[in-house]
Amino acid sequence: EAGVAQSPRYKIIEKRQSVAFWCNPISGHATLYWYQQILGQGPKLLIQFQNNGVVDDSQLPKDRFSAERLKGVDSTLKIQPAKLEDSAVYLCASSLDQHTEAFFGQGTRLTVV
């Protein structure tokens, strides 16, 4: 069974630029999560989708972050414009439903300079 795929693995951008991350969840998984993990901290949930609907985006900085999950499968997370404090690893995860274990991708390490 293929795991959660994320791309790119690494990205370096200058502040005020824009960036997009892509996630392909495990086939059949209805729930998709985007987490932000700052160095030395635990993952922080940014947004949670159930199929193509948003379940929770209370911690998503909506003035600069956006995410979508078209057709309830792949998802993209965008940051525009990026700030220095956005430097982190962005993890995508998926699960069969909202209670079962989440499977994580390898993450995208973003460095904003």
Partner 1 sequence: AQSVTQLGSHVSVSEGALVLLRCNYSSSVPPYLFWYVQYPNQGLQLLLKYTSAATLVKGINGFEAEFKKSETSFHLTKPSAHMSDAAEYFCAVNLASGTYKYIFGTGTRLKVLA
Interface with partner 1, residue 62, by CB under 8 A = no
Measured from the CB atom, the residue of 10 and 17 that comes closer to partner 1 is 10
Selected range binding partner 1 among 21-29, 63-71, 80-88, 101-109, rule: CB under 8 A: 101-109
- Give the per-residue SS3 of 36-76: EECCCCCCEEEEEEECCEEEECCCCCCCCEEEECHHHCCEE
In sign, the C-alpha dihedral spanning 98, 110, 26, 70 is positive
Note the residues at the interface with partner 1 (CB under 8 A): 4, 33, 35, 40-45, 48, 55-56, 91, 93, 98-99, 101-107, 109
